[in-house]
Structure 1
Amino acid sequence: MSATSQQTVPEQFLGFFDDAATFPPGLAPVEQAVTDHVARRSSPFVPAVGPAVLALADLQRAREVADALDLSGGPVEVSVVTPAGALTEALEAVEDVRPQLEVVAIELKTDPQDRAVMAEQIADAAAVQGIPVFVELTAAQVADGALNLLVGTGLALKYRTGGIEAHLFPTPQELGDVLARAVAAGLPFKLTAGLHEAVRYTNDATGFHHHGFLNIALATQAARDGEPAESIAAWLAQTDPDVLGTAAAASDGAWRESFRSFGTCSVDEPADSLRRLDLFPTLTTNQEHP
């Protein structure tokens, strides 16, 4: 593929990298994460960066940090990771952290052990007005039909694609099934955990098989096009960067209607992986990572 001459972020990647610097494996202190997030506003590639993803317990400290920064560009947009049962607290925090922070989304965990309690938590989330809510479901919850509880509510799905143990990484078949179910149900989704590179790879140190976010994008497109489960899983298992890069370059980006974003502890990593595929603007000698 020829080097791109494009100097702006491609539309299909706008707001795609949610800045989850405080979460594993990065585990940046809140002070550093918020400061870096604001400093990144000077980067020409900031349109690719979504909100700062922060734990509910960290919001007040984040507000204090932001209060000492130059916020002439506007408040820090935040997506709040909310424990099961703490939705009311999160909604109260929306007002408490203004004007330094602006909560633009809530990522709500649910009770994985009790379906009745989970259903109540989802119903409460569906009543929220004015703020998108992504409901986190486990693989077991999805297999048990929990996606049906989100249909028609205006809620979106949050799903984990990795973790600190091998069993937390779904296989291409398992992830493909979730993607297909979400697409069929008309549910947009965001993903988190283990998504560092555009192309599927195996970590040499851990042996973990990490999904590529570009693999997921193309698998999502296949699901939207009504392709069979085998084709969806094949996109997720693909490790040839040329195949994925060529397909992505030809895509109209309609997959973003379903695959809204993903959390990453380093927004530089996914951007760099797209640059290696000539799918993202290349930094010039006068441009540096923030």
Structure 2
Amino acid sequence: MSTAPAASGAAVVPPLFQGLFDDAAVFPPGNLPVAEAVPAHLAHRAAPYAAAVGPLLCGAGRLGELAAAADAVTGPAGGTEADGTADGTGPRLRVGLVLPGGSSELGPALTAAAPFAVAGVELATRDAREAVAALDLLLPPNVPAAVELPRELLRGDGLEEVLDVLVDSPYRAKFRTGGVVAGAFPDEAELAGFLTGCAQRGLPYKCTAGLHHAVRHTDPATGFEHHGFLNVLLAAAETDPKAAAEILAERSGAVLAEAVRSLTDRQVTVIRNSFTAFGTCSIAEPLDDLAALGLLSPDLTSQEDR
């Protein structure tokens, strides 16, 4: 996989990282105020590394706050982005709707999101079939969605049942890879089971929480074991749980970086068709990690562009 600048001399975001980082700045542990998150997100989307940045994620209960913040920054219609044009009002802010309250939030959230270009829906549920039915009924055409179930329901046969439901639908799976307590972080075997279960079925997925850094590590402040997003990317193509767990356990950035450089274009396509994105409350941290590992041009991550 090439990480060299384009022929024109301009640095580019390699395909492996394009659209990988959904902006979850308003969620824990970042908890950036919405009024600050909107201009920060627009700055990300105008920066040289913009191709790496996905939509701004927002919970259902904060859409009114988000609309007010967007209007304050850009005027009515809430955006200056190039995609997601509204009829007669110009471009709109691209937003991913995060619905922790389940299917009952879907209809009201879609209505409240009218000022924005809805780039996706992430629906938490305890019933995958019910969630699929609600999405089939209410989701606008061409809006992707991901379905998240509590991890305790994905153990044993529960994982197989949920993945089988989703593989017969147009929707992705969503898996929580961290949080604000130690128990929110799955170990290598649990995450490997999810990744390989999806790979065996050709089921795409996104992850959320705990993946701010590229390489697996122990957080010195909390003692929590964090998965690295490079580990997850490299494990995404595996169908053998043991092999995937070994990749997830790797703590050497040099080893992971070399593995990334050895990927073929076809392997990159397979990986990103599986692991589509993850939510991160920091856009800067993952980009800085990639630059430090030599996988992203420093020209894309200069502080003056943050």
Q: What TM-score, normalized by structure 2, do the two folds share?
A: 0.85
For 1:21, which of 8, 15, 25 is the aligned residue? 25
1:60-209 matches, within 5 Å, as 60-70=64-74, 71-73=79-81, 74-82=91-99, 83-84=101-102, 85-95=104-114, 98=115, 101-111=116-126, 115=127, 118-127=128-137, 128-130=139-141, 131-143=143-155, 144=158, 145-209=161-225
* CA distance 1:241–1:285, shift in 2 (3 Å): closer
Contact kept in structure 2, 1:4 and 1:278, CA below 8 Å: no
Equivalence for 2:285: 269
* Aligned twin of 2:241: 229
Q: In the alignment, residue 144 of structure 2 is paired with which amino acid? A: P
- Maintained 8 Å contact 2:147/2:172: yes
Matches within 5 A, 1:249-288: 249-251=261-263, 252=265, 253-254=268-269, 255-283=271-299, 288=304
**Are the aligned partners of 1:268 and 1:289 in contact in 2 as well (CA < 8 Å)?**
no
Measured after TM superposition, the shift of residue 129 of structure 1 is: 3.6
Percent of residue pairs identical: 39
Q: Is the 8 A contact 2:199 2:237 kept in 1?
A: no
Q: Give 1:287 deviation, angstroms.
A: 5.9
Q: 3-state DSSP class of the match of 1:108?
A: strand
Aligned AA (1:69): V
- Aligned-residue offset at 1:249: 1.4
Aligned length: 276
- 1:217-246 per-position Cα deviation (integer Å, ceiling 9, x unaligned): 0001223xxxx2211100000011111001
Query: What RMSD in Å do the two structures reach over aligned CA positions?
Result: 2.0
Q: C-alpha separation between the residues in 1 aligned to 2:109 and 2:279? A: 19
The answer on whether the counterparts of 2:288 and 2:301 sit within 8 Å (CA) in structure 1 is: no
* 1:276 shift after superposition: 1.0
In structure 1, distance between residues paired with 2:92 and 2:111: 18
Shift in CA distance, 42/230, structure 1 to aligned 2, threshold 3 Å: same
After the TM superposition, which of the residue ranges 3-12 and 280-289 deviates more from structure 2? 280-289
Query: What does residue 57 of structure 2 align with?
Result: 53
Superposition TM-score, scaled by structure 1 size: 0.89
SS at match of 2:35: helix
SS at match of 1:221: coil
- 1:197-236: CA deviations, max 9, x gaps? 111000111111100000000001223xxxx221110000
1:126 touches 1:155 (CA, 8 Å); kept in 2? no
Deviation at 1:39, TM superposition (A): 2.2
C-alpha distance in structure 1 between counterparts of 2:282 and 2:19, whole Å: 14
- Structure 2 alignment gaps of length 5 or more: 82-90
Question: CA offsets, 1:12-31, max 9 Å, x none?
Answer: 11111000000010001111
